[in-house]
Amino acid sequence: MSPVLAMENIDAGYGDVIIVHNVSIAVGDGEIVAIVGPNGSGKSTLLKSLFGFAKLFRGRIFYQGQDVTGMAPDRLISLGIGYVPQISNVFPNLSIAENLDMGAYHRRGKASIKVGVAEIFEMFPELEAKRNALAGNLSGGERQMLAIARAMMAQPRVLLLDEPLASLSPKPISVIVSKLGSIERAGTAIVIVEQNVRKALSIAERGYVLVDGACAIEGAAESLFADDSSRQRYLGLESKRG
């Protein structure tokens, strides 16, 4: 089966500095793939290079077999690729309902948007209870749920998440992990970049470990760190890159 999204032989970075070196990843329909590794290993840069937020020096990106390398972010979203950055991922001066409306700009017609909002509130009842609250007044966990919900309003076939669990306490982490499972079961593929290795791999089918910008190991999530030595070797390292 062909992957829904594939990034092949990617070199990416900022300015003239290459941070990601010859990395290839792929995610299949309805699959969760985790990208983990030490701080500064290039995980977020890899995702950002797809949307043009980091410089793509080399490599190709394919979505459903179509070459989308260098395509504008709004075009990628309209095709079915959702992206939730780690920070600045909601409109703080807008309400929850207004944020969802902003995420629906690719949907046609008020009826479609209304159905989409109803589906989102069914999946995120915590947000429906506060639908008129300003996003800027939400807790960290609620903001992350809203950011994911807003991206889902565009009906993505694959959702890219950059550190969705960062700086959250255990309870909201568990809630968000549960929501990601629901999103996967509904048929949306997920690529999650995450520092919380245990949580990310607990919901992923496969994983990639980036160290110093290169893919050190990849494989089934449950066996990615089959022994303590491999965990220490790849996650106990201090990355050489900032």
Question: Which stretch of 56-65, 164-173, 208-217, 230-239 has the lowest confidence by average pLDDT?
Answer: 230-239
The CATH architecture that domain 5-89+151-235 belongs to is 3-Layer(aba) Sandwich (3.40)
* pLDDT value of position 107: 77
Indicate the Cα dihedral angle 126, 128, 133, 137, nearest 10°: 20
In angstroms, how far is the first alpha carbon of the chain from the final one? 37
* Per-residue pLDDT tens digits for 113-152: 888 999 999 999 999 999 999 999 999 999 999 999 999 9
Contact call for residues 90 and 135 (beta carbons, < 8 A): yes
- Tokens 């429906």 — which residue? 128
* pLDDT value of position 87: 87
pTM for the structure as a whole: 0.91
Which residue type occupies 152? M
* Per-residue pLDDT tens digits for 94-107: 999 999 999 988 77
Q: Where are the beta strands (DSSP E) in the chain?
A: 5-14, 17-27, 32-36, 55-63, 66-67, 81-84, 158-162, 189-193, 206-211, 214-220
Which residue type occupies 148? I
- Residues of the chain by 3-state class (helix, strand, coil), percent to 5: 40, 25, 35
Contact call for residues 63 and 81 (beta carbons, < 8 A): yes
Q: 192 pLDDT exceeds 50? A: yes
Q: 237 pLDDT exceeds 60? A: no
* Per-residue pLDDT tens digits for 199-223: 899 999 999 999 999 999 999 998 8
CA–CA distance, 219 with 122 (Å, rounded to integer): 34
* pLDDT value of position 117: 93
Ranges of each domain in the chain: 5-89+151-235
Q: 238 pLDDT exceeds 50? A: no
* Per-residue pLDDT tens digits for 70-90: 999 999 999 999 999 998 899
